[in-house]
Amino acid sequence: MNQYYPEALVQKSQEAKIRAYCPYSKFRVGAAVLTSNGTVFTGCNVENASYPLGLCAERTAISKAVSEGYTSFKAIAIASDLEDRFISPCGACRQFMREFGSQWDVYLSKSDGSYKLMTVEELLPFSFGPDDLGARENTVGNSKL
């Protein structure tokens, strides 16, 4: 996906939603994150009987990317079964996305594939991030920035 097509990213998030493990809420969510070099990682929500241990789709997709050495992102698309409004990331996911920058695109979608474009900054204004701690770029490992 070297050429950046928002519709294709939204479609991948919808496909990821199908694999959601949500026996308790029955609320399926999928996400597809686009790295700076064009690689796409998908994720879905994974619930747990111990509710706080569940994982959101956004954090699953980003964690998959990071575990493969990718920490620079262009965009993320989020999908659910909502028909009447755009799915929006929870506060924890907004902060999790912010860890990797504030100026990347977030596509909030509806079940019909329509979407609304925002940035991480718009979703989490006046955010706290690595720069506030004086964090430096990860120079250990084989990071594919």
- Residues identified as active-site: 58
Max Cα distance, the chain (Å) = 45
Strands 105-109 and 40-44: unpaired
Task: Establish whether 48 is an annotated binding residue.
Answer: yes
Is residue 135 marked as binding?
A: no
Does residue 22 contact residue 7 with C-beta atoms inside 8 Å? no
Q: How many CA atoms lie within 13 Å of 1's alpha carbon, on the beta-carbon side?
A: 22
93 is in an annotated binding site: yes
Contact yes or no for 58/86 (Cβ under 8 A): no
Percentages helix, strand, coil for the chain, rounded to the nearest 5? 30, 25, 50
Q: Would the annotation count 56 as a binding residue? A: yes
Is 22 known to sit in a ligand binding site? no
- Residue 13 annotated in ligand binding: no
Query: Is 20 flagged in the annotation as binding?
Result: no
Please report where in the chains the tokens 């493990």 appear, as a residue.
21
Binding site membership: which residues? 45-51, 56, 90, 93
Binding site membership for substrate: which residues? 45-51
